[in-house]
Chain A
Amino acid sequence: MAVVEQTASADHPPDGIGELDQVTVVESERVSPLVRLLLKPAATALMAAVVVFVFFSLAGSAFGTLAGIANWLAPSAEIGTVAACVALLMIGGEFDLSAGIAIGTTGVTMALLATHFHWPVPAAMLGALVVAVVIGLTNGTLVVTTGLPSFIVTLAMFFSLQGLNVGVSTWLSGNVVVFGVNNAAGFAIPHTLFGSTISIGSAQLQISVLWWIVVTLVASWILLRTRYGNWIQCIGGNVLAARATGIPIGRTKIALFIATSCAAWLVGMETALRLGSAQANEGLGLELQFVVAAVVGGCLLFGGHGSIIGTALGALVFGMIQLGITYARWPAQMYLLFLGIMLFLAVLTNTLVRRRLLRGT
């Protein structure tokens, strides 16, 4: 970051967008507050959340009630927990297409350890955590050492895990669903911590929503308030500058991949403990929704810029649409149509509007 600032002040007519960004920050008194809000990476996601909430509240009667809100916060939490880490990874300039299926992998690992090998549930969860760390470590190390695009490396991991999940669970338990986690030893406490629901009035709020908020706050704090956040943005924005300033690029990237797998582990545990069983295909297809939530939340596809709060709002929008479609009595699959349109509009707004606004200031 120091390098960027120096060049910006040295040759005074700045022409890059990143430098323009800094100018707008410095000369903030001349920029109208509305423009400044719109320039924030999370602005589009915030508007989307408001529009979608108002739309479905008017369309479906139960959508805006306390019970309705608790309902759509559950799928939001599933997407949002992992998306928070995927967003950090994307800001660092990398992808993880294996983050969705890793939910299934960790769930199946935990369930098999608990039911087939009769480990107590907390130990089985630790075993699954080790698997998650290994997945992240493998992804990260391969990306850093081979220099291949993370899209390819994690796509390979995605297919491998998809095959292994079903292969191993059918081999050991004879089924693609591993049942009986709820009868394993030591199920009660982990279930309360990760898989229970909290009664708020008449509504049943899943505890995963709290975990989602915690993960989002931690990730946002790291990005905005620690030097690691600066490292991540610098690596994603300009690898050469990051290397020149002595940032440990390899280690940071590997840590981000591990964090993403661990977030997938958290969701895997939540799901398996709530249902008392683990499905081999859990999380399949979510990998792209994480990317979409992050992009809608203002993350650039190729790194350098983004917002964790925006990503959380993106996940919120998807939870709302997913449940709102059901409340409006449309076929559930129409959710994906909304997702597609939403993605396109959000990215268009994010890039085009910001480009135009920056030119205007």
Chain B
Amino acid sequence: MQTPETTLAQELPDSSTTDQSGAVSVVGPPRVNPIVSFLVKPAATAILAVMVVFIYFSLTTTGFDSAAGIANWLDPAATLGTVCAMFALLMISGNIDLSSGVAIGTTGVVMGLLATQAHWPVPLAMLGALVVALAIGLTNGLAVVKTGLHSFIVTLAMFFALQGLNVGITILVNKPPDTGGPVPATALVVAGIRDAPGYALPQLILGSSIPIAGAQFQISIVWWILLTLLASWVLLRTKYGNWIQCIGGNTPAARATGIPVGRTKVALFVGTSLAAWLVGMETALRLGSAQPSEGFGLELQFIIASVVGGCLLFGGHGSVVGAALGAVTFGMVSLGITYAKWPGEIYYLFLGVMLFVAVLANTVVRRRLMRGV
């Protein structure tokens, strides 16, 4: 517990009023070696990972560091990173949301069905999906707060429920002919959003791409950066950020100081669902169709990106910018593997090794460094 407290104090000089013992290390002369003080930052591992991965693929493949290459790997990074910005805040508060991946598919399918089956204009259908996202976040948050069950269990239940609903409802609406065999692929997609009324403007805002230096950068990258900056500002510069860290670090203390623990947690779950909604809209508007399986499996990658970015698994400490860098690392690797012509599944092997090394570096190395300080 010594470690996160001291690191926090170094990161947040303005919080020194709350922690006298931590303030000493901030106020005192810079006796700490600058390399050590960098390595102790939560985002340090992620920064190193980004640099190593970028240099490696730039040297060994052609086109990875070109404008087109960068635009390519920033695209999956934005998908991961947009949800990760909120997911990191949630993790810092000591909770996780395993339903945040499939919620991308849920919101996309809801929007697609409202636009193509109920013939709502696309902006209205997006609002309908937003309501669903709010309901998912509220349900998760209230269930965690009211029952006192661990968020792992509550959101795992939501994960299964949404996964079943996504595919089940899509099939029920598409009504494929009962051949007795497997469901045809055409029945597992909500198509035709492109032809719905009012598609053009939302597509421009959320699903278009911007030409820069001859490469097509997805507009989702802009949304990702905006959301990361917003979440990081909330964490580092507002009282809500202090609340979040306090809840994750020591819930009884947070309750004792009068922090509205329940409301803050519910808000964080809702924030995570809304981020999933944003990604769901971006994907559905870009492709003009929605897949019920969209986002499935990403929930674990959100955890990894956040943990690589310096978030502790059980809360109290972490960095939103670090989580964004974690997302960049995974975007780079998923595309770099294609550039290097390796089999795509090696991505998962890398993900596993990276997770282990990063967590080890984050916890063990930092523990050792702090002892030296």
Contacts and interface: CB of A to CB of B under 8 A. Distances in A.
Nearest to A330: B168
Given A152-B313, A301-B152, A340 B168 contact: no
Interface in B335-373: 343, 345-353, 355-356, 359-360, 363-364
**Which secondary structure dominates chain A's binding surface?**
helix
Contacts of B348: 159-160, 162-163, 166
Contact of B149 (A158, A171, A351): A351
Nearest to A142: B356
A333 to B, nearest CB: 4
A352 B147 CA distance: 8
Sort chain B's interface into a size bin.
35 or more
Interface string B302-339: 01100100000110000000000000000000000000
B313 to A, nearest CB: 5
Contacts of A160: 348-349, 352-353
Contact of A331 (B143, B183, B313): B183
Nearest to B347: A163
A163 B164 contact: no
A352 to B, nearest CB: 7
Nearest to A336: B164
A224 interface: no
A301 B153 contact: yes
B355 A159 contact: yes
A341 B149 contact: no
B36 interface: no
Nearest to A157: B352
A337 B164 contact: yes
Interface string B156-178: 11111111111110011000000
A337 B165 contact: yes
Given A152-B355, A331-B167, A146 B364 contact: yes
A331 B171 contact: yes
A151 B313 contact: yes
Sort chain A's interface into a size bin.
35 or more
A336 B160 contact: yes
Contacts, number: 136
Contacts of B167: 331, 333, 336
Given A155-B300, A339-B160, A163 B349 contact: yes
B164 A159 contact: no
Nearest to B152: A301
A163 B171 contact: no
Contact of A148 (B149, B171, B363): B363
A165 B348 CA distance: 10
A343 B157 CA distance: 6
B304 A155 contact: yes
Interface in B109-143: 143
Among A167, A170, A336, A343, max chain B CB count under 10 A is at A336
A345 B158 CA distance: 12
Contacts of A159: 300, 304, 348-349, 351-352, 355
B255 interface: no
B172 to A, nearest CB: 7
Interface in A321-361: 330-331, 333-341, 343-344, 347-348, 351-352
A167 B164 CA distance: 29
10 smallest CB-CB distances across A and B, nearest first, come from A163-B349, A340-B161, A337-B164, A336-B164, A159-B352, A340-B160, A160-B352, A163-B348, A333-B167, A166-B345
23 contacts: A155-B352, A159-B300, A159-B349, A162-B348, A163-B347, A163-B352, A166-B343, A166-B348, A167-B349, A291-B156, A301-B152, A331-B171, A333-B163, A333-B167, A334-B165, A336-B161, A336-B167, A337-B164, A337-B165, A340-B158, A343-B157, A344-B153, A347-B149
